[in-house]
């Protein structure tokens, strides 16, 4: 299954160092850019990550980044 484009741009979020997050990879979550379990049955699993530092980050909204969960500008090519 191809992920649904949730947003053609990044989500600006504040993350905490060492905290475990689950980034939505399917695009179906109602809690973008984070997983809410909506991927069930899609064959796509969320990406778990723990930031190395506290602060702002830009998480991919288009679900096509080569640097998941972070935005790499891929939305500009969609």
Overall number of domains in the chain: 1
Q: What pLDDT, on a 0 to 100 scale, did the predictor assign at position 1?
A: 83
Q: What pLDDT, on a 0 to 100 scale, did the predictor assign at position 18?
A: 95
Burial class (CB in 10 A: 0-12, 13-18, 19+), 58: middle
pLDDT, tens only, 10-58: 999 999 999 999 999 999 999 999 999 999 999 999 999 999 999 999 9
Whole-model pTM: value is 0.94
Give the domain extent around 25.
1-78
């Amino acid at each position: 299954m191809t992920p649904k484009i949730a947003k053609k741009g990044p989500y600006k979020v504040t993350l905490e160092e060492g905290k475990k997050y689950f980034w939505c990879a399917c695009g179906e979550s109602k809690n973008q850019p984070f997983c809410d379990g909506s991927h069930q049955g899609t064959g796509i699993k969320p990406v778990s990550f723990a930031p190395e530092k506290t602060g702002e980050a830009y998480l991919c909204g288009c679900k096509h980044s080569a640097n998941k969960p972070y935005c790499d500008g891929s939305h500009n090519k969609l």
